[in-house]
C-alpha cells in the first residue's frame, strides 16, 4: 500500500491576522506552500491559533522553518516524516495496517531472528578494520555456521557447521549471501554497532566488496552519540545498547560484556579462550583452531539465546511507543516516553513543544531540587522484618494528584488543596494528558499481570504476557525522570519537585502510622519501610499485625497509590543509609550497598563479607569472627589465590589526563607501554605487590602479578568491609588494629 495524499507539515503560533496573511503570501524557492490553513490547537492548556503549513517534500520543512521565523513561534518542524506519519495514523511495528492506513487489531508476536558474531586479529577496539576478520559465526532457527578462511587441516574431522572459504573476501561474500538467503526480520549482535558492522564495512571496502543486503548497500545512520547500520527490512539490533540503556539498572552484573550479562539473564556464558591473546594463539596454531571455531559459534549461540530473552520486550516496547524495532532497541527510556507523549498530544490536538536549545538545556541542567527521604537506620541485627514498599510510588503519585505540564497552577480555588510542600498546585477539574496516558498504561499492566496468574509459567503465552508487563512497567517508571530531564520537550521542574515532595510526605506518614501502632521503623528509603514488632513472639502473630497495618494504610491512601508487602525476612543487618542485608526464611540474601555487590573491592573482600554476612544473619556472630581469623592466617601463609586479590577499577578518562596517579591509572600506563590498548571505560585489573613506596607505585597489572602485599590486603581489603559489619556489635578499628599489623584479639 502507498499513501500519496499525506504531506509533511509544521505549525506557526500566530498572534495577528497580519502574520497569517504574510505566511499565506510567502514563497520559498519561488513556490508557495502546498496548503496553508489556520487551526485551533492547544498549547498545553491554552487554545491558540496556529498556521498549519503543508509542503510537498520533507526536505522543504527546514527551508520553511527558517522563512517563517519572523512571524511567530514555530512548532513540530523537527519530527522526521516517517515518524510523523506513524503518529498521525497511530501506526506501530508488528501491528496490522488497514486499507485506510489506520491501525488494526492483529499483531505479530515474533520475528525471524539471526544472530551473528565476528572474530578478528585486532587487539584494539578502536582499530576498526586494520586487521583481517578471521571468521563470522551465525545462529538462528535452522541455521548454525562458522564461516572462515582458515586452514582447517589441524582441526580434526570438519563439523557440518564449519564452512571454509579461500580467503577473507570470499568469507565476507559468503556471509552476505547467507544473510540474504535466510532473510532475517531481525539481525542481532552484541556491541555490533560499534564493532562488528563497522569492521565488516571497513574490511569489505579494503577488499573491494560492496555489501548488499536486501538489494541495498550497507550504510550507517546517526543514532544517539554513535552510528547504527542500516539494513532495510532486517532491523539490525545491538543487544548491548538495549542492555546498557534499559536493563543495566536492574542487573547485578558488574560489567556488561556478553558473557556476564548472558550468565545473569539466561544462565549461559561464553567459552573462555584467553582474550585477544588466546584468539591470536589459537589462530596461529592449527592444533588449537578447532577450539577457536567452537568459541566463535558459542558466541553466536549465546547472542541468539540472549535475543530470545530480550527481543520480546523490545517488540512490546515498539508496539507501545510506536517506533521501529531498529529505533526502539537504541532509545533510552526517556525518549520512549517522549515519543509516547507525542502520540498522546496529537490525539488531544495539542501542539508538541520543541526540543530545548543548548542554552536552555544548560539552564535546566543547573537547577536542583530536593529528592527522596531516607531515614537513618537503627544499626545492628534485627529479627522478623517486614519490608513494605509502595507499588510504583512516583507513577502512582502522578496519577493520584494529576501531575502534568498542562495541569500546573490552574485558577480553581479548590484545586489549590492539591499541592505538596513546594507550594505548586495541580488542577483536579480536568485530567492532565500525562496522567491520563499513564492510567491507560497502568490499567493495561494490571490486566496483563492478572492474566499471568492464569497462564502456565514458561509457556509461549506467559512469555509474551511477561514481556508486555515488563515493557509497560519500564515506561511507567520513566515518566518521573523524563519530567525532570533537561533535554525533554515537556520538562516541568515544578512537576518533578512535586512528585518527590509527595513521595517524602507519604513515606513519613507511613512511618508515623507504623510507630503509633507499636511497630519499630528500622529503616526507610524513598518508597519502602522496614518494620519489626518487638511484642510479637511468633511469625504468625507478626504477619497478622503487618497485614492489619497495611490494610489500614491502603484504605487511607488516594488511589492508585498502594503499599505492598515485598516480604517478611528472618533477619536483617543494618549498617548505615543505603547499606544493609536481609536474609529470607529460605536463606536467600538481599544485599544493598555492601562490597559483596561492588566491583571496586577484590573478590577476597566480597567473598569474606558474603560469608560473614551469612553467619551474622544466622545469629552466629562468634563463628563470623573465627572465620575472619582463618582468612587472615591464609593470607599470611600465602594460600589465597592471586585471582581473589585482583582489584578492578574503571578508567573514566585517558591515563594522561589524570592529575593524580591512582593505582589503576599507573597500571593503565604500564599496559600502554606494553602495547595494550587503553581507553576510557575500560576496567583496569591490578594487584598490589609487596615492597616499599606508595600503593600506586606497587600496583601491578593483574595479568603479570606473581605475589601480593599481605599487610595491604589485611588492612585495606579485609578489615574495612568486615569492620563495617562488626562495629555494630561493639568492635572498633582500634580494637581490630591494636596488635600484629592492626589485628587485635578479634582475629586471634
Domain of 224? 113-328
Query: Among candidates 245, 246, 243, which has minimal Cα distance to 259?
Result: 243
pLDDT at 296 over 50: yes
Q: Out of 269, 295, 328, pick the residue that ends a domain.
A: 328
Q: Residue 350 domain-assigned?
A: no
Residues in the chain, overall count: 748
Closest to 381 in 3D by CA, of 546, 538, 523, 545: 523
Quickly state the pLDDT bin for 747 (edges 50, 70, 90). Answer: very low
Last-in-domain residue among 107, 141, 160: 107
Looking at the structure, do residues 538 and 618 belong to the same domain, yes or no? no
Q: Are 429 and 452 in contact (CB under 8 A)?
A: no
Mean of the pLDDT values across residues 109-126? 84
pLDDT value, residue 745: 37
The region of weakest confidence among 397-411, 686-700, 701-715, 728-742 is 728-742
Domain membership of residue 363 (yes or no) is no
- What CATH number is given to the structural domain containing 248? 3.30.420.10
Residue 132, in any domain of the structure: yes
Same domain, 154 and 97: no
Between 34 and 248, residue with greater pLDDT: 34
Q: How confident is the model at residue 275 (pLDDT cuts 50, 70, 90)?
A: low
Amino acid 599: pLDDT: 64
CATH number at residue 43: 3.30.342.10
Task: For residues 37 and 14, give the distance between their C-alpha atoms in angstroms, rounded to a whole number.
Answer: 12
pLDDT at site 744: 38
Same structural domain, 225 and 239: yes
Same domain, 165 and 59: no
pTM of the predicted protein model: 0.85
pLDDT of residue 748: 36
> Is 70 exceeded by the pLDDT of residue 732?
no
91 and 131 assigned to the same domain:
no
> Does 212 sit behind a cis peptide bond, omega within 30 degrees of 0 on the bond before it?
no
* Residue 386 falls inside a structural domain: yes
Tell me what pLDDT residue 653 has.
87
The upper half-sphere exposure of residue 174, i.e. CA atoms within 13 Å in the direction of its Cβ, equals 19
What is the C-alpha to C-alpha distance for residues 432 and 412, in angstroms, rounded to an integer? 15
62, 82, 107: which is the final residue of a domain? 107
Region 475-500 average pLDDT: 94
Same domain, 147 and 285: yes
Residue 325 to residues 232, 258, 320, 429, Cα–Cα distance (Å): 12, 21, 11, 38
Domain check: are 169 and 271 in the same one?
A: yes
Q: Tell me the angle at which helices 460-483 and 393-400 cross, rounded to the nearest 10 degrees.
A: 70
Provide the pLDDT for residue 593. 80
What is the pLDDT averaged over residues 552-563? 95
Q: In this predicted structure, what is the pLDDT of residue 596?
A: 56
Q: What is the pLDDT of residues 714-728, one digit of tens each?
A: 888 888 888 888 888
356 within a domain of the structure (yes/no): no
Residue 276: pLDDT over 60: yes
Average pLDDT value for the chain: 90
End-to-end CA distance of the chain: 81
Q: What is the pLDDT of residue 189?
A: 97
Q: How confident is the model at residue 126, as a pLDDT? A: 62
HSE-CB of 593 using CA atoms within 13 angstroms: 13
Tell me, what's the pLDDT at 154? 54
| DSSP collapsed to 3 states, 66-127 | HHCHHHCEEECCCCCHHHHHHHHCCCCCCEEECCCCCEEEEECCCCCEEEEEEEECCCCCCC
Query: What pLDDT is recorded for position 130?
Result: 84
Q: Are residues 97 and 118 in the same domain?
A: no
For residue 110, count other CB atoms closer than 10 A to its CB.
15
Q: What is the pLDDT of residues 344-371, one digit of tens each?
A: 999 999 999 999 999 999 999 999 899 9
Whether residue 464 lies inside any domain: the answer is: yes
Q: Tens digit of pLDDT for each residue in 171-230?
A: 999 999 999 999 999 999 999 999 999 999 999 999 999 999 999 999 999 987 789 999
Looking at the chain, the whole-number percentage of residues with pLDDT higher than 70 is 94
Whether the predicted pLDDT of 669 surpasses 90: yes
Shared domain for 612 and 718, answered yes or no, is: yes
pLDDT at 34 over 80: yes
Does residue 570 fall inside a structural domain? yes
| pLDDT for 595 | 59
Same domain, 45 and 188: no
Which of 64-68, 464-468, 486-490, 623-627 has the least mean pLDDT?
Answer: 623-627
Note the pLDDT of residue 123. 61
Reply yes or no on whether the pLDDT at 630 is more than 50: yes
User: 146-155, 355-364, 459-468: lowest mean pLDDT where?
Assistant: 146-155
Q: What is the mean pLDDT of residues 290-295?
A: 87
CATH at residue 542: 3.90.1600.10
| Number of Cβ atoms within 10 Å of the Cβ of 390 | 23
In this structure, the answer to whether residues 616 and 483 fall within a common structural domain is: no
* pLDDT at residue 18 is higher than 60: yes
Looking at the predicted structure, is the pLDDT value of residue 507 above 90?
A: yes
When mean pLDDT is compared across 158-162, 195-199, 224-228, 337-341, the lowest value belongs to: 224-228
Mean pLDDT score, 500-516: 95
> For residue 354, is it within any domain?
no
Residues 557 and 632 in one domain: no
> What's the domain count of the chain?
4
Amino acid at each position: 500500500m502507498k499513501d500519496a495524499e499525506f504531506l509533511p507539515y509544521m505549525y506557526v503560533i500566530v498572534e495577528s491576522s497580519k502574520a497569517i496573511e504574510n505566511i499565506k503570501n510567502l514563497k520559498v524557492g519561488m513556490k508557495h506552500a502546498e496548503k496553508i490553513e489556520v487551526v485551533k490547537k492547544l498549547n498545553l492548556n491554552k487554545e491558540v491559533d496556529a498556521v498549519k503549513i503543508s509542503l510537498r517534500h520533507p526536505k522543504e520543512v527546514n527551508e520553511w522553518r527558517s522563512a517563517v521565523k519572523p512571524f511567530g513561534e514555530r512548532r513540530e518542524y523537527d519530527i522526521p516524516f516517517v515518524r510523523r506519519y506513524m503518529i498521525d495514523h497511530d501506526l506501530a511495528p508488528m501491528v496490522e495496517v488497514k486499507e485506510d492506513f489506520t491501525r488494526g487489531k492483529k499483531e505479530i508476536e515474533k520475528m525471524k531472528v539471526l544472530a551473528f558474531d565476528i572474530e578478528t586479529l585486532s587487539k584494539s577496539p578502536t582499530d576498526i578494520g586494520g586487521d583481517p576478520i578471521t571468521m563470522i559465526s551465525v545462529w538462528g532457527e535452522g541455521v548454525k555456521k562458522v564461516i572462515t578462511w582458515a586452514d582447517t587441516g589441524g582441526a580434526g574431522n570438519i563439523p557440518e557447521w564449519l564452512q571454509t572459504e579461500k580467503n577473507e573476501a570470499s568469507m565476507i561474500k559468503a556471509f552476505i549471501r547467507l544473510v540474504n538467503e535466510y532473510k532475517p526480520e531481525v539481525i542481532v549482535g552484541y556491541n555490533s554497532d560499534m564493532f562488528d558492522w563497522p569492521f565488516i564495512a571497513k574490511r569489505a571496502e579494503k577488499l573491494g566488496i560492496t555489501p548488499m543486503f536486501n538489494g541495498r548497500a550497507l550504510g550507517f545512520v546517526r543514532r544517539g552519540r554513535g552510528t547504527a547500520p542500516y539494513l532495510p527490512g532486517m532491523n539490525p539490533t545491538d543487544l548491548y545498547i538495549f542492555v546498557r540503556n534499559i536493563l543495566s539498572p536492574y542487573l547485578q552484573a558488574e560489567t556488561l560484556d556478553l558473557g556476564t550479562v548472558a550468565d545473569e539473564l539466561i544462565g549461559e556464558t561464553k567459552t573462555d579462550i584467553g582474550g585477544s591473546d588466546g584468539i591470536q594463539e589459537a589462530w596461529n596454531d592449527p592444533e588449537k583452531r578447532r577450539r577457536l571455531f567452537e568459541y566463535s559459534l558459542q558466541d553466536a549461540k549465546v547472542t541468539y539465546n540472549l535475543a530470545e530473552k530480550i527481543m520480546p520486550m523490545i517488540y512490546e516496547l515498539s508496539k507501545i511507543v510506536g517506533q521501529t524495532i531498529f529505533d526502539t532497541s537504541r532509545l533510552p527510556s526517556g525518549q520512549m516516553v517522549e515519543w509516547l507523549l507525542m502520540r498522546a498530544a496529537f490525539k488531544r490536538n495539542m501542539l508538541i513543544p520543541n526540543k530545548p536549545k543548548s542554552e536552555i538545556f544548560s539552564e535546566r541542567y543547573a537547577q536542583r531540587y530536593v529528592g527522596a527521604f531516607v531515614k537513618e537506620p537503627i544499626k545492628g541485627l534485627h529479627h522478623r522484618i517486614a519490608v513494605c514498599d509502595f507499588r510504583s510510588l512516583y507513577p502512582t503519585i502522578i496519577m493520584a494528584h494529576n501531575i502534568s505540564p498542562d495541569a500546573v497552577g490552574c485558577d480553581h480555588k479548590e484545586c489549590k488543596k492539591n499541592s505538596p510542600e513546594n507550594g505548586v498546585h495541580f488542577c483536579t477539574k480536568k485530567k492532565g494528558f500525562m496522567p491520563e496516558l499513564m492510567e491507560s498504561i497502568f490499567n493495561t499492566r494490571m490486566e496483563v499481570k492478572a492474566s499471568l496468574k492464569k497462564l502456565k509459567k514458561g509457556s509461549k503465552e506467559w512469555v509474551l504476557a511477561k514481556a508486555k508487563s515488563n515493557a509497560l512497567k519500564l515506561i511507567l517508571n520513566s515518566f518521573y525522570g523524563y519530567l525532570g530531564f533537561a533535554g525533554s520537550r515537556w520538562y516541568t521542574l515544578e512537576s518533578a519537585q512535586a512528585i518527590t515532595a509527595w513521595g517524602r510526605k507519604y513515606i513519613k506518614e507511613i512511618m508515623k502510622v507504623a510507630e503509633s501502632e507499636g511497630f519499630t521503623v528500622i529503616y526507610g528509603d524513598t518508597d519502602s519501610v522496614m518494620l519489626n514488632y518487638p511484642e510479637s513472639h511468633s511469625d504468625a502473630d507478626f504477619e497478622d499485625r503487618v497485614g492489619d497495618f497495611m490494610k489500614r494504610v491502603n484504605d487511607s491512601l488516594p488511589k492508585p497509590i498502594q503499599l505492598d508487602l515485598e516480604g517478611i525476612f528472618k533477619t536483617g543487618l543494618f549498617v548505615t543509609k543505603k547499606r544493609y542485608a536481609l536474609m529470607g526464611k529460605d536463606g536467600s540474601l538481599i544485599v544493598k550497598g555492601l562490597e559483596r555487590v561492588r566491583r571496586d573491592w577484590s573478590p577476597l573482600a566480597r567473598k569474606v563479607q558474603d560469608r560473614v554476612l551469612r553467619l551474622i544473619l544466622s545469629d552466629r556472630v562468634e563463628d563470623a569472627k573465627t572465620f575472619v581469623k582463618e582468612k587472615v592466617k591464609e593470607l599470611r601463609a600465602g594460600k589465597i589465590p592471586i585471582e581473589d586479590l585482583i582489584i578492578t577499577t574503571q578508567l573514566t578518562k585517558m591515563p594522561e589526563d589524570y592529575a593524580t596517579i591512582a593505582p589503576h591509572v599507573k597500571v593503565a600506563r604500564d599496559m600502554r607501554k606494553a602495547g595494550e590498548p587503553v581507553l576510557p571505560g575500560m576496567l583496569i585489573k591490578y594487584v598490589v605487590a609487596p615492597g616499599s613506596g606508595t600503593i600506586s607505585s606497587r600496583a601491578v597489572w593483574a595479568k603479570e602479578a606473581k605475589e601480593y602485599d599481605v599487610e595491604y590486603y589485611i588492612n585495606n581489603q579485609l578489615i574495612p568491609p568486615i569492620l563495617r559489619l562488626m562495629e555494630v556489635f561493639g568492635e572498633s578499628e582500634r580494637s581490630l588494629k591494636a596488635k600484629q599489623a592492626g589485628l587485635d584479639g578479634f582475629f586471634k
